[in-house]
């Protein structure tokens, strides 16, 4: 469940959460829910990096315009 391609202007897209019925219940390793949790962890990191980049850009724009 990869997230959408990265763009400087758009936030990352969260992965789709699987429905309970999508799990076969046979104890697969990894389970579809394990894969989803891994994808969510990547998404959270990408979102945090995206938000940090937005904040950094705002700071640069403010200093360029003479505002602190």
**Tokens representing 44?**
């959270």
- At 2-38, the pLDDT tens digits run 555 555 579 999 999 999 999 999 999 999 999 999 9
Q: Return the SS3 of 25.
A: coil
What confidence category does residue 54 fall into, taking pLDDT thresholds of 50, 70 and 90?
confident
Q: What pLDDT shows up at residue 48?
A: 96
Which pLDDT belongs to residue 12?
96
- Residue 55 confidence class, pLDDT cut points 50, 70, 90: confident
Averaged over 37-55, what is the pLDDT? 95
Task: Say how far apart CA 20 and CA 13 lie, in whole Å.
Answer: 21
């Amino acid at each position: 469940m990869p997230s959408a391609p990265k763009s400087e202007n758009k936030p990352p897209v969260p992965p789709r959460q699987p429905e309970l019925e999508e799990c076969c219940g046979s104890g697969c390793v990894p389970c579809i829910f394990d894969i989803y949790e891994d994808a969510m962890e990547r998404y959270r990191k990408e979102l945090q990096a995206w938000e940090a980049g937005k904040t950094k850009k705002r700071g640069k724009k403010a200093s360029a315009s003479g505002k602190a």
